[in-house]
Every structure is written in structure tokens, then in C-alpha cells.
Chain A
Amino acid sequence: MSNIQPEKDPLLSDGQMEDLLSAFYAGEEPEALKQLPSTWSQIQNNDVSEDLIVAPAKRLPDASRGIFVAVATLAMCVVVMIVLSGDNSGESTAQDKGQQTQGQQLNNTINVSGDGQSSGGGVIGDDSTTLEEIDNIDLTPQDDEPDGDVEKTDRKPESE
């Protein structure tokens, strides 16, 4: 003999759901649904027409308004053209100025040679340094070395 009872299905059965839904929907339908529109206060008092008044049609533009619009548009176009032409001349002036400045900068540049001489031959430093423009730099060793700049080397002279 066992005391274990079969577990009750927690879900509502199909029959229970049928009854439940029938009762539920019967109670949901409002009583007012049975009243015909002719008995509604909104229709008897003609409130509907007031609620649904159509917005008045827009006023068509008359002749004077049209002329005013045309003149205003024309004036606007003239102003825009003036502004645009002014902008263009301004741009060209700025461009010219830019080119001039660039040219001046090019003229002022000084080409410097490896020997420290400039094309102008002018003195540019306190120690009489000059600059001279040359096409290339000669890297071959020279026979006559400056007196003051004798380098010390470990090589022995070839004559010995």
C-alpha cells in the first residue's frame, strides 16, 4: 500500500479552458455595445460634426502677393550674384598674393656649397665664412692639403 498520490496536472485541462474562455468573453463584452447609434448622445446632440470640422481651405495667393514674391526673389538673386562675384575677385587676389610671396621666398634662398662658399660670394658669418654655389661636390682626395689641417695617420710615406 503506498501513500503516493498521482501528481495533479498543474495546467488547466482543455475542457476547463473552454469553460473559462466562454465565461471570460461573455463577461468582457460591454453592455453598451447593445445600444444602437441612434440612441447615442453624440449623435443626438450632433457633436460629431463639431469634432470633425474640416480645416478651412488655404487662401490662394492674390496678384499683389505674387508680385511681391517675384520682386523679393529677383532681389535675392541679385544679392547672391553680387556676393558670388565678390568672392571670386577676393579669391584671385589672395592667389596672386600667395604667388608673389612664394616668388620672394625663392629669390631669397641661398645655395650652399660643400666648401662653404655661396653664389653671391658675400660674407655671411662673423668668421668670414662665405657661400658659393656649385653644381656638384668633388669627393676625390686632393694632393695639396691645407697647412693648418694636417691629419695624423699611421701610414708610412711610400718613398721610404
Chain B
Amino acid sequence: MEQQQTVDASVSAEELEELDEVYRENSRELWAIFYSQCSDPERAYDAVQESFLRLHAHRGEQIRDPRAWLLRVGQNWLRDVARRKSSSCKLTPALDEIVNDRFVPQDILSSTENRQAIRHALQCLLEDDRKVLVMKYSLNWTSAKMARVMDCSAAAIDMRLSRARRRLAELLEEQGYDHE
């Protein structure tokens, strides 16, 4: 009996190690993709966590491509949440930042407002534009790498990036974004 428990514990530890490894390799990229889908950092993180918890709980047929599996699970979860969101109340993300004592309230308000303005403007962009922006500025990917993922040329990626930046600047200007 004791031997059986030891075997279970070692298998579990091995599984956890594997899970951590998959997480190290994919978590940032998955977060970035989920973020480009919902423009909400916390929800994108929840999607990452949910997909890894399901991977951990998965029993049955072996998953050949964990990254693709995690991506699909996370995206489906985000869609479900978006459907439910319309009937639920909205949390205020600013509350999390108020407890942070690094800034005076004025700065927090200004920073929060600016962040919200940028998130709102990002939501007005096309999803592919958001993807290239997040790959470039969050993951620091090169145009060539983005081109492989997006299945197009590096020149097309650069063009898309430039257009996305310009469009975002216009949207921020329309919203009266304070960049001084």
C-alpha cells in the first residue's frame, strides 16, 4: 500500500515537472494570443491557467501537440466567458491598482485611464493587427518569426505593423488620449 502511494507520488511529480516544462515553453505566447483576443490581461491569464489545469486533469488519449491543444482550450474558454459576460456585472480593474502604494492616487488614476484608453483603442483594431502588435511589443518577436506564424511575408508583417500603429494613434487621438 505504502509502495503504491510512493509510485503515485513519483508519477505525479513527474507529471508536474512535464507540465511546468510545457508551461515555460508556451505560457507567454499563449497569454499574448489570448490577450490579443480579449484585450484583458487578467482574463487572458485566466485562460492560460484554465487551459493548463485542464491539461493536467486530462486523462485518456495522449495529446500530440500540447501547444495547439492548450490554444484551442483557452480560446474556447474565452468565447464561453465572453458569452456569459453580457449577463454579468463588470469588475473594475482599477481596484487592483489602488492597493499598490508605489504611486500617488493622481498617478494611478491617470495611468489607469490611459491604459483603459489604449485597451479600448486596441479593441477597435482588427484581431490580426492586435496579434502582430502583441507579438512585436510583448513577445519581442522578429518580423520573420511573425511571418511564419501568420503565414505571410515579413514585408507584409511590417506593413501591417505600421498600419496598426497609425490606426491606433488615430483612435487614441479621437479618444482624447493625453500623451504629454
Interface set of A (CB-CB < 8 Å, partner B): 10-12, 14, 16-18, 20-22, 24-30, 32-33, 36-38, 40, 42-43, 48-49, 51-52
Residue of B nearest to A53 (CB): B57
User: Main secondary structure on chain B at its contact with chain A?
Assistant: helix
Stretch from B42-50, B77-85, B102-110, B142-150 that touches the partner: B42-50
B residues within 8 A CB of A40? 49, 53
Given contacts A30-B41, A30-B45, 5 further A-B contacts (CB under 8 A): A12-B179, A24-B115, A27-B115, A28-B35, A29-B28
A66 to B45, CA, bound (A): 51
The answer to whether A12 touches B35, judged by C-beta atoms less than 8 angstroms apart, is no
A residues within 8 A CB of B28? 29, 33
A22 to B19, CA, bound (A): 30
B residues within 8 A CB of A30? 31, 41-42, 45
A49 to B58, CA, bound (A): 9
Known: A21-B133, A33-B27, A33-B48. A43 touches B56 (CB 8 A): yes
B118 at the interface (CB under 8 A from A): yes
The answer to whether A38 touches B20, judged by C-beta atoms less than 8 angstroms apart, is yes
A14 to B133, CA, bound (A): 13
B165 at the interface (CB under 8 A from A): yes
